[in-house]
Amino acid sequence: MACGSTKLWNGEATWFCCGNAWGPCASAGGGACGTCRSSALQAAWPNASKACWDLTRPDLCGEDIPRRGCGSVMKVRHDCSGASVCVTVSDCGPRTRSFCSESTCCDGVCRTNRVIDLTPAAFSAIGSLSSGTLPVSIFE
Amino acid sequence: MSAYRTGDPLGRRRFLTAAALRGATVIGTGALSTGALSTGALGTGVIGATALGAVDADAAFAAPIRPLDPAVAESAFAEGRITAINHDVLEVAGSYGDHSRVRVTNATSVWKARATTAADIETGDGLYARGLPLPDGTLAADAVWVNIVNLHATIRGIEKTRLHLAHGQHEIVGNLMARTTSAAYGDASPTADLSRLTIGQSAQVLGAWRPSDGSVDLVRVAVAPGAGRRR
């Protein structure tokens, strides 16, 4: 599937580790899809399945995020820099409901609610890992 | 402090490549950090943030983001544990049995719980590195994040100098660092006031893993807006 340009959603992107890894991430495992690796350009999506949705519950934050399962391809664009990266959905997350109304801003642009979780490889392609979150738009 | 250098007329690829080919002038006089098992030494020169660089977390969070160099699309990525340090090259054992050689240049920003210098990098550390692949097979890093973790956890206990965190099925000790650890309560700016953290809260923990004991030095603990609000 191609990395498209049709707007899908926007919000905050966070990052997470998965697969074989070091430190506290050593127990992360391959994620809900079984294929997740920190060094790959991948993402966790809060509605990767019904079971996933029940855990993340973005609707509790007002986000009726559509379902996109394992293997779906998305383009994630940093809303201020314009830098983008193509990722494959490989896990379930982030737990949107735990951080309702949280927002991230840059250059006056703010995005609210965690809607996608990127691997370190994907997140670092568009921003600094030490920032923790980024405001993004998502395309497919 | 600005998270991103401004007015840099050099292209990222040209700058990194030049720095690497010059022999990385950052290298030289630095002594090994205590406890390092390295076979070489990294220099002590301060390596500041770059246009893409690793910087202090709070500064990065608050500062405006500048456009990235288009060359970012050509970036490569490496992760794993550092097995040796040979002058300006970090030998990295990847988590899937692969091996990378990460070259630290004077254009590299280094993060290890804060913006720091290459002298703070030790064998045994974990890293994520982003940069440009060079013809010699090394990765000329524009950013290296050492031991960085960003975990979704639940606060299970609060002490004066540490938090007890549950991460999945595992318990993690989070070390509070004076003048460094901050709390982010939703969309408010990070603050040194940790008094609103409470047991049972979900928290996003950004910090640096300590290979020696498995604990995490806490840089920022983020909780949901309204969580722990004073009554």
C-beta separation of B129 from B141 below 8 A: yes
Contact B61 A133 (CB under 8 A): yes
ipTM for the predicted complex comes to 0.95
Residue B109 has pLDDT above 50, yes or no: yes
**Which pLDDT belongs to residue B37?**
27
Partners of residue B220 on adjacent β-strands: B182, B206
**Which pLDDT belongs to residue B187?**
66
Residue B124 has pLDDT above 90, yes or no: yes
pLDDT digits (tens, 9 = 90+) for B150-207: 999 999 999 999 999 999 889 999 999 999 999 998 767 889 999 999 999 999 999 9
Please, what sign has the CA dihedral across residues B78, B141, B21, B41? negative
Interface with A, mutate which of B83, B90, B95 (most A CBs under 10 A): B95
What distance in Å separates residue A136's CA from the closest CA in chain B?
12
CA separation for the pair A89, A65 (Å, rounded): 14
Rg (CA), chain A: 14
Residue B50 has pLDDT above 70, yes or no: no
Contact A15 B187 (CB under 8 A): no
**Which pLDDT belongs to residue B14?**
56
Spell out the alpha helix ranges (H) of A37-137: 50-56, 120-126
CA separation for the pair A60, A88 (Å, rounded): 25
**A6 close to B (CB below 8 A):** no
**Which pLDDT belongs to residue B11?**
55
**Which pLDDT belongs to residue B3?**
33
- Provide φ and ψ at B88, rounded to 5°: -100, 10
**A82 close to B (CB below 8 A):** yes
Residue B212 has a CB neighbour count (10 Å cut-off) of 9
C-beta separation of B5 from B50 below 8 A: yes
